[in-house]
Amino acid sequence: MIADLGNFALMAALVFSLFGIFSALYGSYRDDSRLMSAGYRSVGAVFFLVSLAMGSLWYLILNDDFRYEYIASHSNVDLPLALKIGSLWSGQQGSLLLWTWMLTVVSTIAVATQRTRHNRLLPVATAVMLGTATFFLYLNNFSANPFEHLVRISPTGNEALWGPADGRGLNPLLQHWAMVIHPPILYMGYIGFVVPFAFAIAALWTRQLGSAWVVTVRRFTLISWALLGTGIILGAKWAYVELGWGGYWGWDPVENASLMPWLAGTAYLHSVIVQEKRGMLKVWNIVLICLTYWLCILGTALTRTGAVTSVHSFAASDIGTPFTVAVVGIFVGCALLIVRRLPYLRSENKLDSLLSRESGFLFNNLLLLAATFSVLFGVLFPIFSEAIAGSKVSVGQAYFNKVEVPLGLLLLALVGVGPLLSYRKTSTASLRKNFMMPVSLGLVAAPIFFILGVRDVWPLISLTLCVFVTLTIVQEFHKGTRARMHQQAENYALAMLNLTRRNNRRYGGYIVHFGIVLVFLGVTGSAFVREGRGVVGTGDEISVGPYRLQIEDITERDSANYYSGAVTVAVYQGDKRVDTLHPERRVYHASQQPTTEVDILQSPQRDLYLVFQGFNEDQTKAVLQAYVNPLVMWLWVGGLVIIMGTLVCLLPDIRAKKVH
């Protein structure tokens, strides 16, 4: 009964979505407000119906109804409640349903907040959002339905509905808190870009190609970009603590699939500032937002169709053809529409000087696109090689590091240079004044790092640039704060606070830039990783980096969900005991799959990362792997700072309120 309700809701949602597309477009063509209003209300109806389907699936999961294939494959009786809730998006069918539901949430918010504005843009934008919903609802209904019954076939060939006493359980790798919240956050980041894309297409379609559509979607774009970045960081955190290989980013195809739209979205967020201020880079902005959305759909296709091999990806399925049609259709449709509207995308001003902030944004775009397409090449190369040569040849970390590291450092340099340039043209005096302090101290930092032992070129450049960019950010805050102190007679702290609140986009952006610096600092630490490994029994010791590890105990236990073995390790620095760690290895009963549960001693300077890899051949000793990972904590701190800076950017502008 509940499953039938879910199936009915999904089919009705598809019907309402198609009706909404027709009503919005035909109403716009006929200038019929009633038809357009019907299209807008259809968005809310689709949201309600998909919510009903979501609720139905959750009800079945929480009641352990294993008559349904999806629930039997991804849950079991003894699975903890939080993980049962998260199991809804642990597989293909459920995660596509979550994707569709989030799409309807975003679309409903967009229509509700913009309904009284942009009458010429909203009908077309509504149709585009509902068109995306129609595609995913088609998949939900016909290709990846989560309400399919399990069927048992008798020896005589008769079919009968059937349900096991217990399910196979959630993939052990997904039984972690980060994977409960990581997919919804990542999906919302992906999906949120449908709103700026829809309004960009509406602007192209209606020839309303000023800055109105840009202003309309500003918050949607920034929130989507931040959520996608947060999802990427959470995914890295999950890989770090759950996969047991000592790292957090392996240039995995699915990791890259999320990175590409984030890079393109970053380029758009910078480029669009120039359009708002100078009426320039209109073609860039349309292309960038279309590219960002297209990369979101492409990344989803790569993840879900089995086209790439990854620990993160779903199994191969029959949704490849619909996704291929969507990816090709979006690319061709956007390209044709942009070409047709090129006369309406002329810049209102020209680039006055290479030494200008506009030029800095342009170079920033070029580097971000170079990074995006080099990652795209690495992701697609195995697919092309298989199609052309008949064998799948993958590119490894060496390719990505060789290409992306120099591009990343150039981008980091631009993060520091860009804010020091003026619009239109930067004078020689201004260059000397703005660059003197950060460049001088940055150059002083380089030999200090060299003396401290940083001898490799790329880490040395990275740490030097981190100092340079940090100093430019500090200088910008200090300069603005001092000016406000003199103008308003405020103390330093209050002046800085009010300065930020009066220009939240600019100074929130600087906070985001500082978060990027911290991320680079954390990533740079990976150049100095040290490893140790030992087959050890109680009382044995191994050394790695500055640590001495003494094995105190090896234990085994059995629980309702899994069997585990654990090692108790005393950690010493010199003769001082600093901590006790307990790395585990588990085997889950439902799936009989093993997983490692690492234990980490964290500090701002370094992480000690311990992995219990199992027992030796005669089961008498433990195999212990240890890594010393410098500066990793700053990667996670940097992610938090980026989120904080984004929230500052989203605050209402005090100046705008006063003008109003």
**3-state DSSP assignment of residue 285:** helix
Span 566-587, mean pLDDT? Answer: 94
Per-residue pLDDT at 372: 96
Per-residue pLDDT at 309: 62
* All structural domains of the chain with their residue ranges: 1-175, 528-635
Per-residue pLDDT at 408: 96
Per-residue pLDDT tens over the stretch 93-125: 999 999 999 999 999 999 999 987 757 899 999
Architecture of the 1-175 domain: Up-down Bundle (1.20)
Lowest mean pLDDT among 88-102, 223-237, 553-567: 553-567
Per-residue pLDDT at 426: 80
Burial 158-176 (b: 16+ CB within 10 A, else e): eeeeebeebbbbbbbbbbb
Per-residue pLDDT at 314: 54
Q: Partners of 531 in the beta sheet?
A: 627
| Pairwise pLDDT comparison (253 vs 328), residue with the higher score | 328
337 pLDDT above the threshold of 80: yes
Cα end-to-end span (Å), the chain: 54
Per-residue pLDDT tens over the stretch 253-269: 888 999 999 999 999 99
Per-residue pLDDT tens over the stretch 613-634: 988 888 778 999 999 999 999 9
Per-residue pLDDT at 659: 42
Does the pTM surpass 0.75? The reply is: yes
Most confident of 11-20, 349-358, 492-501, 584-593: 11-20
On the 0-12 / 13-18 / 19+ scale of CB atoms within 10 A, 596 is buried
Span 297-305, mean pLDDT? Answer: 87
Q: For residue 161, what is the enclosing H or E element?
A: strand 159-161
7 pLDDT above the threshold of 50: yes
Sheet with 606-615, strands from edge to edge, namely: 530-536, 622-630, 606-615, 599-602
Q: Which of 542, 543, 564, 540 is nearest to 553 (CA)?
A: 540
CATH topology classification for 528-635: Tick-borne Encephalitis virus Glycoprotein; domain 1 (2.60.98)
163: confidence class by pLDDT, cuts 50, 70, 90: confident
Q: Partners of 549 in the beta sheet?
A: 542, 571
Q: For residue 383, what is the enclosing H or E element?
A: helix 357-389
Per-residue pLDDT at 157: 65
Span 118-135, mean pLDDT? Answer: 92
| Distance, CA of 316 to CA of 357 (rounded, Å) | 47
Q: Which of 498, 506, 517, 519 is nearest to 269 (CA)?
A: 506
> DSSP H helical segments within 452-550, as ranges?
457-488, 492-502, 504-524
Per-residue pLDDT at 655: 59
Q: For residue 600, what is the enclosing H or E element?
A: strand 599-602
Q: State the CB neighbour count (10 A cutoff) for residue 418.
A: 18
Domains 1-175 and 528-635 share a fold: no
Q: What percent of the chain has pLDDT over 70?
A: 96
200 pLDDT above the threshold of 90: yes
Q: Which of 482, 444, 478, 435 is nearest to 464 (CA)?
A: 444
Span 4-21, mean pLDDT? Answer: 97
Per-residue pLDDT tens over the stretch 371-387: 999 999 999 888 888 77
Please work out, in degrees rounded to the nearest 5, the angle formed at the alpha carbon of residue 17 by the alpha carbons of 131 and 123.
65
Per-residue pLDDT at 660: 41
162: amino acid identity, one letter: W
195: amino acid identity, one letter: V
503: amino acid identity, one letter: N
